[in-house]
Chain A
């Protein structure tokens, strides 16, 4: 209902600035971060908020990304809110601690400004960094633009801290394309953000001597817990199963939080973003900012008589198989756009999930396109071509999943 929507300011911000601004409004207890292009602006802006006394957050300017996430683990274990941000090599360096953060069930929020991985060293966008963290037990939400980066950075806390989730969240935004692009965005008043995120509520666990205790390192030591213990084959597996259950719960929570945020802001988000799919014969499926370009491609294709639509996957982890199947019901052909590779694998990482989502259920004929590695641009024309190619494959009745490369030399 439009009348219930809170009044908002319009401001010009880059994606990085939007994330920093959202974090200023949330005001977590600890931000521990290390600079890396193209995430740097998040850290710089936030440092300014700290320096000017606009936030009471403890900013820990750590000596590496490994320590950034390690400090967030420590901070979140006390029951505090902790945030960090990184990209590319930084995320790769954190890899070890990603698994610990999720398995310790610590609702840390981290912005990933997606950037290619070395070598050769490259500072521009692709999704290889996030894909390397795909199986780490973090929720991964991919944003299309600066507005969504702002909105998702606020929602992430509610998703992460939900009692049935208790998992860390990555807010993924495309390096430079979103992080450094100025956009007019609507920002909520500080108070509305504070009310929306509320205080972090702690779940209760059975601790020492069978006593119930809030899940934290008790500052008074009265209900001591041991965190990060040693588990053998008799108990380890159950931990992992519980993480999976939390991911399943997140599918519902992401939708719920998105709805509630929509009522507050007028901007609704869910697991997926379906664009002109109702009557589509062909769909472009992908993650992040190039799906904005894909929407233009779909419009143009429709003007040319091709019924095209776009399915942007917002929640890559957990993967919304059911929502994807539902959205693509009746679609004949799909171009699955992967901005990362799984070397030696059967297809790109998104393609593999798409294929699994439809396995044994019929569904559209899919063609996989690898694109945009190391920041290589993708145009409306490229995406139209991909959609046409997917349609052609469906009409010709191609077997298996063809894997093609967009805009590759030679």
Chain B
């Protein structure tokens, strides 16, 4: 499939997940997995970290995966992928296989920001040729919505509940995309299921580069974020349009690291009036409801807005658009 596929072409591509995946209705993760696999161009092995997607797709005696798939543990998806990549490389060297398959990791925010960060960083530093797709639903959803390093400030979770004193998680979301980019790997991007063609193009790019690639996908979770399952794509779209989760990619050209905005984020950079207030995004999600009810907490909403603005400005500077 070409890098500039149309939606119609994408829809015609075979589904590499069987029907009947046991994720919740409206789940962003299985949708993202399906889209990612629409982009594969040759035999591909998928590695999953422990998490929602892993559990819901592999309940014995059934499996959802039409591609070779392995789950090892929670924190070691990148290390497992490293071993797989090394093994195929050795086999190819010995002439036992013609060509090494592509290796894609799919892991959640817990398995990536937190417990799996060391293995990820190590694998990136060693330069294994694999694509790591982070589906970021911003909390430990599989165990019942506990805060992670990916949970945004003031979001309610079961371990950062909103109470009289504390208003959800007090700490900021770890800037993982930038941290990964600082490993100076060939390709890093963010993506959203609300922009499927952008996502698929980035997956293609990630698979085509030599060495590690990383795509950070925002993954709305109706259960954990507290919104109606019919709104998944709308919520993802609002994350992008408010610049809460801007879309960008980062690659290397002549020894220089190039950040570029993509899709709606590029448009917003060019026409700043298109940037929606973050409140639009917060207000549709129950995990932020304590900011609006019983009393509107203007100061906290403003704090989130100024953080979003600062992050956006930083990104614009990196993309040379400030």
> What is A's interface to B at a CB cutoff of 8 Å?
29-30, 32, 56-58, 60-64, 66-68, 70-80, 82, 96-97, 100, 208, 217-221, 224-232, 235
Contact = CB atoms under 8 A, between A and B. Distances in A.
Given A100-B72, A221-B43, A235-B61, A70 B119 contact: yes
B70 A74 contact: yes
Given A30-B90, A78-B87, A62 B122 contact: yes
Interface of B: 43-45, 47, 54-55, 58-61, 63, 65-73, 75-76, 78-84, 86-91, 93-94, 97, 99-101, 118-119, 121-123, 125-126
Contact of B88 (A219, A227, A229): A219
B101 A220 contact: yes
A230 B142 CA distance: 13
Given A71-B79, A74-B47, A96-B73, 17 more contacts: A29-B91, A32-B86, A57-B90, A60-B126, A64-B122, A67-B78, A67-B123, A73-B83, A74-B72, A79-B87, A80-B88, A100-B72, A219-B99, A219-B101, A224-B68, A229-B63, A235-B61
B76 A58 contact: no
B3 to A, nearest CB: 22
Contact of A75 (B47, B54, B83, B118): B83
Contacts of A61: 126
A329 B225 CA distance: 68
A228 B72 contact: yes
Residue of B81, B82, B83 with most partner-chain A CB within 10 A: B83
Contacts of A66: 75-76, 79, 119
Contacts, number: 166
B86 A60 contact: yes
Nearest to A97: B73
Contacts of B86: 29-30, 32, 58, 60, 71, 75
Contact of B68 (A62, A64, A217, A231): A217
B287 to A, nearest CB: 27
27 contacts: A29-B86, A60-B83, A60-B126, A62-B79, A63-B122, A64-B122, A71-B86, A74-B70, A74-B72, A75-B87, A76-B83, A78-B45, A78-B87, A79-B87, A97-B72, A100-B72, A208-B63, A219-B100, A220-B97, A221-B43, A221-B68, A226-B58, A226-B69, A228-B58, A228-B72, A229-B60, A229-B63
A230 B68 contact: no
A100 B50 CA distance: 13
B69 A58 contact: no
Contact of B45 (A63, A208, A217, A232): A217
B79 A229 contact: no
Contacts of B61: 235
Contacts of B43: 218-221
B83 A72 contact: yes
Contacts of B91: 29, 78-80, 219
A325 B80 CA distance: 42
Contacts of A219: 43, 45, 88, 91, 97, 99-101
A63 B127 CA distance: 13
Best-surrounded residue of B66, B73, B118 (most CB of chain A within 10 A): B73
Contact of A70 (B44, B73, B99): B73
Given A70-B72, A72-B83, A29 B90 contact: yes
A56 B125 CA distance: 22
Residue from A62, A68, A217, A225 whose CB has the most chain B CB atoms within 10 Å: A217
A63 B118 contact: yes
B67 A221 contact: yes
A220 B44 CA distance: 8
A187 B84 CA distance: 31
Please indicate which of the listed interface residues B45, B59, B68, B125 has the most CB atoms of chain A within 10 Å of its own CB.
B68
A39 to B, nearest CB: 19
Contacts of A100: 72-73
